Amino acid sequence: MKVDKILETQVKTALNRFPGKVSLVIETRTGRIEWRGHEQMKSASTIKLAILLEAYRQVDLNLIKPYDTISLGPEDFTEGSGVLFHLGSVKELSFEDLLTLMIIVSDNTASNIAIQTIGLDNVNKLLDELDCNESVLERKFMDVLSALQGLENSTSAADLVTMLKAVDSGGLLSEDSRRRVLHILKKQQLLSGLHGRIEEEDEVSVASKSGSLPGVVNDAGIFEYRGNKVYAAVLTDGSPDHHSGQELIAEIGGYIYDWLKAPESPANLD
């Protein structure tokens, strides 16, 4: 069955209005909407979803435990998004607390320590195994020297949906790790993207990871309403301002929300 034409028309109308470049995939149980879905884009912090997956895969392999203590030295504190850079008295955190901060406030210090702990190459091996061919983790976050050398973290909307489905299926992670990953993704504190038109206490939940850079605004998440799920990823580049990218993604999130809750929607028809 094809995805609801109303949702597809709303989404593509919004995309046609946007002045920048967009990679988008929305997958429902009734079909898929795709707009340059395999175009490689700057990932910003959405690549942290791959780091999270590899981290919990290593938990499942007993290479590390969620509550293992990770020490933080002065050299570990990284500027940019997050809170740890401003909390210099923090000397150690559990591995799971670092991963939680990496996702819910996109903490760069936590992210870089996670990469250091699990191995950058291991993240890329996982991406290869998932056939995420447009995704690569080439450097740590806020690594200006590597960025000047042309190293860039990249992904596509199609790859991010693949990662979201890997979180939500039984093939990659144990049931306990899947539960932990979804719990973290649902605690996202940066709510201006796909969450933007959804009240926090609404029955529709969104488990997501966003990211942004100058001119770049991204978000990817799993919408769920009464057992019905939608996987969505929207990556933008060349936005005239940060708000324009956020507003496009919030608009698309709003259309998904309305589609999920409409009684006549294919999502609610057996």
Q: Which amino acid is at 159?
A: D
Tokens of residue 131, six digits: 């056939």
From residue 190, how far is each of 67, 84, 105, 158 by CA, in Å?
Answer: 25, 16, 7, 22
Tokens 């979803």 belong to: 49
pLDDT of 83 over the 50 cut:
yes
Q: What is the mean pLDDT of residues 263-269?
A: 64
Rounded mean pLDDT, 209-234: 95
Supply the Cα-derived Rg of the chain in whole angstroms: 18
**d(C-alpha 270, C-alpha 268), whole Å:** 7
pTM: 0.94
Predicted local confidence at residue 30, as pLDDT:
87
Answer yes or no: are the C-beta atoms of 238 and 1 closer than 8 Å.
Answer: no
- Cβ–Cβ < 8 Å for 235, 163: no
Task: Read off the pLDDT band of 268 (50, 70, 90).
Answer: low
Calpha distance 127→108 (Å, rounded): 20
Q: What percent of the chain has pLDDT over 90?
A: 72
Looking at residue 262, the DSSP 8-state letter turns out to be -
pLDDT, one tens digit per residue, over 89-99 is 778 899 999 99
Instruction: Give residue-wise pLDDT tens across range 4-28.
Output: 889 999 999 999 999 999 999 999 9
Integer angstrom CA distances of residue 39 from 81, 130, 133, 240, 241: 26, 17, 10, 20, 21
Confidence of residue 2 (pLDDT cuts 50, 70, 90): low
The span from the CA of 21 to the CA of 6, in Å, is: 23
pLDDT 10s digits, 141-182: 888 788 778 789 999 999 999 999 999 887 899 999 999 999
Q: What pLDDT is attached to residue 17?
A: 94
